[in-house]
Amino acid sequence: MKNKLSIFISSGAYSGLSPIAPGTFGSIAAFALWAIAKSLGLIHYGLLGPLLLIILTTISIKSVSEVIADEDHPNPDPQWIVIDEWVGLYLAILIATPITWLEGLAALILFRIFDIIKPYPVSAAEKLPGALGIILDDLVAGLFAGSSLIVLKLVI
């Protein structure tokens, strides 16, 4: 039996259990959590953001590893695992920091585009084995989204 905490984390606080578009729904849940934290003044710039992202990514890899090690899962990347969307979106937001609400929404849209179309090297990262591949492709998509948002901020 899978560890309940690993399921909770891997599913993005159960946001990945949506029967329709779990990756998008999980990304929206991650965005909502960011928006709440921003409105409460809990978003701070500096070293804390990258440190928290590193901690979240490490916990995510461990949790996803435990979940996919379960023999009951023939799928190497179950759709309900959406913590990878969370870390990818948060990387995009972190790269483009400081960020407004509208820019946060743009980060969400750009992240989903890169995560869905999977241009190289997102597609190459996805092919890595296990939890590393599951998480890393979304981090690369987040890198693309955050970098694209910076360019958009410069142009607009």
Q: Model confidence over 30-51: pLDDT tens digits? A: 999 999 999 998 887 777 889 9
Global pTM value: 0.94
Sign of CA dihedral 102, 140, 30, 56: negative
How many domains does one find in the chain?
1
Query: Is 17 part of any domain?
Result: no
Rounded CA gap, 55 and 59, in Å? 6
For position 125, what pLDDT does the model report? 96
Query: Is 11 part of any domain?
Result: no
For position 1, what pLDDT does the model report? 45
Residue-number span of the structural domain to which 80 is assigned: 22-155
For position 156, what pLDDT does the model report? 86
Query: Is 103 part of any domain?
Result: yes
Query: Is 3 part of any domain?
Result: no
For position 98, what pLDDT does the model report? 87
Cα separation values, 29 from 14, 35, 72, Å:
10, 10, 27
Structure tokens, 87: 């870390």
Rounded CA gap, 70 and 83, in Å? 17
For position 74, what pLDDT does the model report? 61
57: enclosing H helix or E strand: helix 48-68
Dihedral angle computed from the Cα positions of residues 62, 64, 67 and 68, in that order, rounded to the nearest 10 degrees: -110
Tokens 């090690």 -> residue: 69
For position 48, what pLDDT does the model report? 85
Cβ(139)–Cβ(57) below 8 Å: yes
User: Which residues of the chain carry a pLDDT beneath 70?
Assistant: 1-2, 71-75
Query: Is 60 part of any domain?
Result: yes
CB atoms within 10 A of CB 103: 18
